[in-house]
Amino acid sequence: MSTRSRILDPLLAVGVALGLASLAYGGGNVAALGVVSALGALGVELTPRQGFVLSVVTLQLVFFTGVSLLYLRYRGMSLADIGVRIPTLEGWIVLGVGFVSMLVLWLVGSIASFVIGQRFGIERESQAIMEIAQQDPLIFLMLGVLSLLVIGPTEELLFRGIIQTRLRETFGVGAGVTLATALFAVIHIAGFGSVGAGVLGVSVLFFVGFVLALSYEYTGNLVVVALMHGLFNATQAALGYVGVRFGDPDAMAMVIEAAIL
């Protein structure tokens, strides 16, 4: 390989990964905002439930899926090439082990980030979906269902099936998995409010996402990680629903403590 190729190929791979993530995430958010604005101009006011469903459909279903499929078509690849197939018994076992590992890492990481935040005075702001769901707990249940059917599959399609595969081609497994996981975590930083809170939140997401990345590399099966991701999000949503239904601001902490014990 020439010196020029050794320099340009990694830059191209990173550029493609950043471009795909930006197009899907940025384009989806802009489109969702545009739809809401257009409906508002027509006198149509969306309820929180309708707004939530609209955002998921526009961002994940349309843009994440659309960008991924267009890229596959450009590369002359099919869904089977990135592991869309029925899991084997080993795949189901990896799914179960990975799901439990994600929960453990999330709980430990959340507690650690809370302690660090308290130590350094970092304010943790609630994500927008959490604030909306506080007023309408049914949104938590909707989030759980959509996580399994839409959010988990589409995010894994883009970040694992497309971006991780592309980065692995150039950097190899170790660096490719790490870079793809870092991008997956960083893309969520805007939802945490302040920079300090974002760094803590992204750090937790990195380790959780790393389980998904490793599971995909081990099984080569996108369905395994899509289900794992969906179940993880659905579990978070279920805990949120329980917390709100208790009507106690400390309910979520109680549920998490009970899970740890």
Per-residue pLDDT, 257: 47
CA–CA–CA angle 68, 221, 73 (5° rounding):
25
Given a cut of 50, whether residue 78 has pLDDT beyond it is yes
Residue 185: how many CB atoms within 10 A of its CB?
20
User: What does the pLDDT look like over 100-157, one tens digit per residue?
Assistant: 999 999 999 988 888 888 887 776 665 666 667 777 888 889 999 999 999 999 999 9
pLDDT band per the 50, 70, 90 thresholds, residue 3: low
What mean pLDDT is predicted for residues 27-54?
91
* Structure tokens given for 75: 């590369």
With tokens 């943790």, the residue in question is 124
Question: What is the 8-class DSSP label of residue 47?
Answer: P
pLDDT digits (tens, 9 = 90+) for 221-257: 999 999 999 999 999 889 888 877 775 555 455 444 4
Structure tokens at 162: 């497309």
Q: What pLDDT is attached to residue 114?
A: 82
Q: With beta carbons less than 8 A apart as the criterion, state whether 167 and 77 touch.
A: no
3-state secondary structure of 250: coil
Spatial contact of 184 and 209, defined as CB atoms under 8 Å apart:
yes
Tally helices (H) and strands (E) across the chain: 11, 0
Q: What pLDDT score was predicted for residue 201? A: 82
- What span, in angstroms and rounded, lies between the C-alpha atoms of 138 and 142? 6
Q: Which of 156, 155, 176 is nearest to 167 (CA)?
A: 176
pTM of the model: 0.89
Question: Contact, 233 vs 147, CB < 8 A?
Answer: yes
| CA–CA separation, 1 and 6 (whole Å) | 7
Lowest-pLDDT range of 80-84, 88-92, 138-142: 138-142
Query: What is d(CA 212, CA 159) in angstroms, rounded to the nearest whole number?
Result: 10
Q: Output DSSP code: residue 154.
A: H
What is the model's pLDDT at position 261?
Answer: 38
- Percentage of residues in the chain with pLDDT exceeding 90? 61
Q: Mean pLDDT in the chain?
A: 87
Least confident stretch, 35-39, 57-61, 236-240, 248-252: 248-252
User: Do 193 and 141 touch, CB atoms closer than 8 A?
Assistant: no
Residue 5 pLDDT class (50, 70, 90 cuts): low
